[in-house]
């Protein structure tokens, strides 16, 4: 997997094919999700580790874990 293949506004899906969120950008060893991807609806950015990315397929970021596991592992960054 090459992090440079991950582009802004790509959909992120779990290994099950269900949506997890949308890419804001890659930041270091993590993907920063858009604020509207906040599972709690509070408008915070969340992060997924690149280690969970299987690759980019059909214009989507596909994870090695299912969407439920991915959402549990989201790391929050409160809005400033």
pLDDT digits (tens, 9 = 90+) for 8-26: 999 999 999 999 999 999 9
Residue 80 reports pLDDT greater than 60: no
Backbone angles phi, psi at 6, to 5 degrees: -85, 120
For 31-62, b where at least 16 C-beta lie within 10 A, e where not — what string? Answer: bbbbbebbeeeeebbbbbebebbeebeeeebb
pLDDT tens digit sequence for 34-54 = 998 877 677 788 999 999 999
Residue 79 reports pLDDT greater than 90: no
Give me the domains of the chain, ranges plus CATH numbers.
3-77 (3.90.50.10)
Paired with 45 in beta bridges are 77
Q: How far apart are CA 58 and CA 45, in angstroms?
A: 25
Predicted local distance difference test score (pLDDT) of residue 78: 54
| Total Cβ atoms within 10 A of residue 78 | 8
pTM: 0.89
């Amino acid at each position: 997997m090459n992090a440079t293949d991950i582009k802004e506004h790509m959909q992120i899906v779990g290994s099950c094919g269900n949506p997890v969120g949308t890419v804001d950008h890659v930041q270091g060893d993590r993907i920063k999700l858009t604020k509207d991807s906040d599972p709690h609806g509070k408008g915070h950015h969340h992060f997924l580790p690149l280690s969970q990315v299987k690759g980019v397929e059909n214009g989507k970021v596909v994870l090695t874990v299912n969407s439920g596991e991915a959402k549990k592992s989201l790391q929050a960054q409160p809005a400033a």
